A and B are shown apart, each in its own frame.
Chain A
Amino acid sequence: MTHNIYLYIFVAAAVSCLIRVLPLTLIRGKIRNPFIRSFLYYVPYVTLAVMTFPAIVAAPQVPLAGILALIAGVTAAWKDMNMMGIAALCCVVVFVCEAILL
Chain B
Amino acid sequence: MNRNKNAFVNGIRDGIPIALGYFSVAFSLGIVAKKARLDPFQGFLSSLLNHASAGEYAEFTVIMANAPYLEMAFVILVTNIRYMLMSCALSQKFHPETSYVHRLFVGFGITDEIFGISIGRSGALNPYYNYGAMAIALPSWSAGTAIGIVAGNILPASAVSALSVALYGMFIAIIIPASKANLAVGGVVSASFLVSFVVSKISLFDRMSDSMKISLLTVIIAAIAAYLFPAKDEDEDHISAESRKDDEGCISSESQKKNKDHIFSESQKEVTGHDA
Residues of A participating in the B interface, judged by any CB pair closer than 8 Å:
2-3, 5-9, 11-17, 19-25, 27-31, 34-56, 59-62, 65-66, 69-70, 73-74, 77-78, 80-84, 86-95, 98-99, 102
Complex formed: what's the CA distance from A87 to B71 in Å?
37
Query: Which 9 A-B residue pairings sit nearest by Cβ, starting from the closest?
Result: A77-B176, A90-B169, A38-B226, A13-B49, A21-B107, A49-B192, A87-B169, A23-B87, A95-B162
B243 at the interface (CB under 8 A from A): no
With A11-B72, A19-B80 in contact, do A35 and B175 touch (Cβ < 8 Å)? no
Inter-chain contact B175/A27, CB cutoff 8 Å: no
Whether B193 contacts A53 by the Cβ 8 Å rule is yes
> Chain B interface (Cβ within 8 Å of chain A)?
13-14, 16-17, 21, 37-38, 42, 45-46, 49-50, 52, 55-56, 59, 62-63, 66, 68-69, 72-73, 76-77, 80-92, 94, 96, 100, 103-104, 106-108, 110, 112, 115-117, 119-120, 157-159, 161-180, 185, 188-189, 192-193, 195-197, 200, 210, 213-214, 217-218, 221-223, 225-227, 229-231, 255, 262
Interface pair B221/A42, CB less than 8 Å apart:
yes
Give 18 CB contacts A-B under 8 Å.
A11-B69, A21-B107, A25-B104, A28-B96, A31-B92, A35-B226, A35-B227, A37-B92, A39-B225, A46-B189, A48-B112, A49-B193, A50-B221, A51-B112, A53-B193, A59-B161, A73-B172, A90-B172
| Chain A residue with the shortest CB-CB distance to B157 | A61
- With a CB–CB cut-off of 8 A, which chain A residues contact B107? 17, 20-25
The answer to whether A12 touches B96, judged by C-beta atoms less than 8 angstroms apart, is no
